[in-house]
Amino acid sequence: MKEMQFSEIKESFYFTCSQCGNCCTGYQKVFLDPYDLFKMARYLRFSHTRSLFEQDFVTLVQGQHRSWVPQIKFRERPFRFCPFLQNFTDEKDQLRGRCSLHGAYKPFICSLAPLGREIDFVRGQDRFLFVKPDPECPGPESSEEHRIKDIKESYSTELLYQSRFFRMLHDLDVLNYSSRKYMELLYIFPVDRSIESIYEKIEKSVENVINL
- C-alpha to C-alpha distance for 132 and 37, rounded to whole angstroms: 25
Largest CA distance in the chain: 61
**Which of the residues 151 through 210 are near ligand SF4 (CB under 6 A)?**
none
User: Where are the extended beta strands (E) located within the chain?
Assistant: 8-9, 12-14, 58-62, 68-72, 85-89, 95-99, 115-120, 125-130, 145-147
Establish if 142 lies at the interface with ligand SF4 (CB under 6 A).
no
**Nearest CA among 64, 62, 59, 104 for reference residue 83:** 59
**Least distance (Å) between residue 19 CB and ligand SF4:** 5
Nearest 5°: the CA angle 152, 63, 12 is 25
Query: How many residues lie near ligand SF4 (CB under 6 A)?
Result: 24
| Alpha-carbon torsion (63, 17, 5, 152), positive or negative | negative
For residue 136, give the 3-state DSSP assignment.
coil
CB of 127 to ligand SF4, least distance (A): 21
Q: How far is the CB of 106 from ligand SF4 (least distance, A)?
A: 6
Q: Shortest distance, CB of residue 83 to ligand SF4, whole angstroms? A: 7
Selected binder of ligand SF4 within 18, 142, 163, 179 (CB under 6 A): 18
Among 52, 58, 101, 112, binds ligand SF4 (CB under 6 A): 101
How many C-beta atoms lie closer than 10 Å to residue 61's C-beta? 14
Which stretch in 42-50, 103-111, 144-152, 175-183 sits in contact with ligand SF4 by CB under 6 A?
103-111
The residue from 32, 37, 69, 110 that contacts ligand SF4 (CB under 6 A) is: 110
Residue type at position 130: F
Does position 3 interact with ligand SF4 (CB under 6 A)? The reply is no
Instruction: Check residue 112 for interaction with ligand SF4 (CB under 6 A).
Output: no
Nearest CA among 54, 74, 151 for reference residue 108: 151
Contacts with ligand SF4 in 23-42 (CB under 6 A)? 23-24, 30
Residue 53 phi/psi, 5-degree rounding, is -80, -45
Note whether 107 and 1 are within 8 A (CB).
no
Closest to ligand SF4 by CB, 63 vs 83, is 83
Contact set for ligand SF4, span 50-89 (CB under 6 A): 72, 82, 84-85
- Rank residues 30 and 41 by Cβ distance to ligand SF4 and give the closer one: 30
Q: Which chain residues interact with ligand SF4 by CB under 6 A?
A: 17-24, 30, 72, 82, 84-85, 99, 101, 106-107, 110, 113, 133-134, 137-139
